[in-house]
């Protein structure tokens, strides 16, 4: 393979971050919940990214912006099907490309003090960081989670929170 011995005009390999190659197949979706008049007790929510593709399309989640006012992060796990009530569908990074697959579902509950979060299962797949009374972004440059067709990536606040939100940035990958 020919090359440039000076290195000023290399021929061959070009290194770019993976998401940059897939910008025509990106999905963006977000949801934020604020409980303005919370009753006494603890407040737990789930936000679930559901892969509603018909077949063969994976969601490679490259970034999640997450918030909850208690800090402590959001537990993350996979669930078959949808979790909660449909809130909105995904949007595209480019408005001329069309609407990609992807839907966000939400549910919430208030429980008595001392009761743990009833949504979080025994086994989780990760924790998405949040700042106390602020938001945080997890964007490492590689997929954080890969969501197959018919599954949801579910996030739930670890500590009680009256506001919870998440924004997902993902690639639709044919596998």
127-171 tens-digit pLDDT: 998 876 667 788 887 899 999 999 999 999 998 988 899 999 998
- When divided into structural domains, the chain yields a total of 1
Structural domain contains residue 91: yes
Joined tokens for residue 82:
């949808």
Structural domain contains residue 5: no
Are 42 and 110 in contact by the 8 Å Cβ rule? The answer is yes
Structural domain contains residue 148: yes
Domain residues for the domain of 80 are 18-174
Are 166 and 155 in contact by the 8 Å Cβ rule? The answer is yes
Mean pLDDT of the 31-36 span? 86
Output the CA–CA distances (angstroms, integers) from residue 131 to 45, 62, 119, 135, 140, in the order listed: 17, 19, 21, 5, 17
pLDDT tier, 91 (very low <50, low <70, confident <90, very high otherwise): confident
pTM listed for this prediction: 0.84
Structural domain contains residue 4: no
């Amino acid at each position: 393979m020919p090359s440039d011995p000076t290195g000023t005009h290399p021929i061959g390999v070009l290194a770019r971050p993976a998401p940059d190659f897939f910008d025509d197949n990106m999905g963006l979706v977000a949801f934020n919940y604020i409980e303005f008049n919370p009753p006494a007790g603890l407040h737990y929510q789930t936000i679930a990214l559901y892969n509603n593709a018909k077949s063969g399309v994976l969601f490679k989640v490259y970034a999640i912006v997450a918030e909850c006012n208690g800090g402590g992060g959001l537990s993350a796990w996979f669930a078959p099907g949808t979790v909660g009530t449909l809130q909105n569908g995904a949007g595209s990074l480019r408005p001329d490309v069309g609407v990609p697959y992807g839907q966000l579902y939400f549910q919430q509950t208030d429980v008595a003090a001392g009761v743990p979060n009833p949504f979080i299962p025994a086994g989780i797949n990760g924790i998405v960081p949040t700042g106390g009374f602020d938001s945080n972004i997890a964007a490492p440059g590689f997929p954080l989670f890969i969501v197959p067709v018919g599954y949801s990536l579910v996030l739930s606040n670890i500590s009680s929170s009256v506001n919870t939100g998440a924004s997902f940035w993902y690639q639709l990958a044919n596998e």
